[in-house]
Amino acid sequence: MKKPTIELKSTEFTEIIEIERTVTPEEEKRVDHVFVRRRKICKRHPEGFATEEYSRFDIEWPEEVKEEMKEEIKVNS
């Protein structure tokens, strides 16, 4: 079962600024390893309190469609 990946987005309370994103594909496991570095700024704090956050997650590749080759067999009667 696939788990949905939910990216952080800016809201009225926090601003999200993406600093770095690195995507590394791994063909053996059929996934992309994603590393994200972002800055979160609290808009409600008088001084604009900022923190830096790192996250790592995997994104599965879509399932390959396998086409079956069907041979037509003709029967002579």
The strand order across the sheet containing 50-60 reads 14-26, 31-42, 50-60
Beta strands 31-42 and 50-60, pairing class: antiparallel
CA separation for the pair 34, 23 (Å, rounded)? 5
pLDDT in tens for each of the 77 residues of the chain?
566 777 889 999 999 999 999 999 998 888 999 999 999 999 888 887 899 999 998 888 887 777 776 667 777 76
> What are the structure tokens assigned to 61, written together?
């590749």
Q: How many CB atoms lie within 10 A of CB 77?
A: 2
